Amino acid sequence: MPKTRGMKIGDLANPNRFLRIARVAIPLCAAASAVLLAYGFYRGFHTPAERDQGTVFRIMFVHVPSAWLALGIYSLMATAALGTLVWRHPLADVAQKAAAPIGAAFALVCLVTGAIWGRPTWGTYWEWDGRLTSMLVLFLIYLGIIALWRAFEEPLQAAKAVAILTLVGFINVPIVKYSVDWWSTLHQRASVFRLDGPTMHPAYLSPLLVCALGFSFLFAALLMAAMRNELMRRRVRTLTLFAAREAH
């Protein structure tokens, strides 16, 4: 039987191969992110001001992609948790651990920009509205996951414990997504991903999508760099343990 050529997802399971790919992919993703974000922000700052909000709405080009990524990264972590528990993929828990602080950062950026945006438009920094509250809960779950990672000494044991917590916490993701439809109080409803197509004006939509893509590439670069660090950290840990045993 001839050997199949080309990349498969299984090939990434080999940490050495991952490190080789990451060496090329990290600068590429970082460059793509820089170009896309520069272009997206440029376009975003040259759109006409919004009728009701004036110019403050431009914070949307950071706020909305952060919100999408905060949810998207959690979904990725839940998939990685399945990868740890079900398929025992050797890189799944590395990806999960590396993604958690980045996801927490995007959730925090989303909350802070939302507060800055809310002050002039809603007249308040914070409101206990369904979407705001559930995003805050998501941020707390991120922090809990990071805390649990740090509580265990043995990485493999930590990986499985965190995977269970991540899967239980995944319930919150649809709650955040649909909270504005269920408890429609203050935050506006989805205006991009809708069954009947986006309701946002194309002049705002295209820079927003460019920014979202730019932030996604930024996440990809950060994730791979953090995964590389984590692999190195585990190697150092193993070597230190060996050295300690030898010296005994």
Q: Minimum Å distance from CB 168 to other proteins? A: 6
* Residue 66 near residue 215, CB atoms below 8 Å: yes
Q: How far apart, in Å, are the Cα atoms of 70 and each of 111, 141, 155?
A: 10, 12, 24
Give least dist CB 136 to other proteins, A: 9
Q: In terms of CB distance, is 62 or 162 closer to other proteins?
A: 162
Q: Nearest 5°: phi and psi at 54?
A: 70, -130
Looking at the Cβ atoms of 165 and 225, the one nearer to other proteins is 165
Length of the chain: 248
DSSP letter, residue 123? S
Q: What's the distance, CA 72 to chain centroid? A: 6
To other proteins, the closest distance from the beta carbon of 227 in angstroms equals: 22
Alpha-carbon distance of 38 to 43, in angstroms, equals 9
Number of residues that bind other proteins (CB under 8 A): 21
Shorter beta-carbon distance to other proteins: residue 79 or 133: 133
Range list of H helices, 46-59: none
Identity of the residue, 128 or 193, whose beta carbon is nearer to other proteins in the bound complex? 128
Q: Is there binding between residue 227 and other proteins (CB under 8 A)? A: no
Backbone angle region of 88, left / alpha / beta, with phi > 0 → left and psi within -120 to 50 → alpha: left
From the list 12, 56, 115, 148, which residue makes contact with other proteins (rule: CB under 8 A)? 148
Q: What is the C-alpha to C-alpha distance for residues 145 and 97, in angstroms, rounded to an integer?
A: 9
Give the SS3 label for residue 54: strand
Subset of residues 51 to 110 that bind other proteins, contact rule: CB under 8 A: 85
Nearer to other proteins among residue 151 and residue 241 (C-beta): 151
| Residues 157-196 close enough to bind other proteins by CB under 8 A | 157, 160-161, 164-165, 167-169, 172, 175
**Between 36 and 159, CB nearer to other proteins:** 159
The residues that touch other proteins, with contacts defined as CB under 8 A, are 85, 133, 137, 140-141, 143-144, 147-148, 151-152, 157, 160-161, 164-165, 167-169, 172, 175
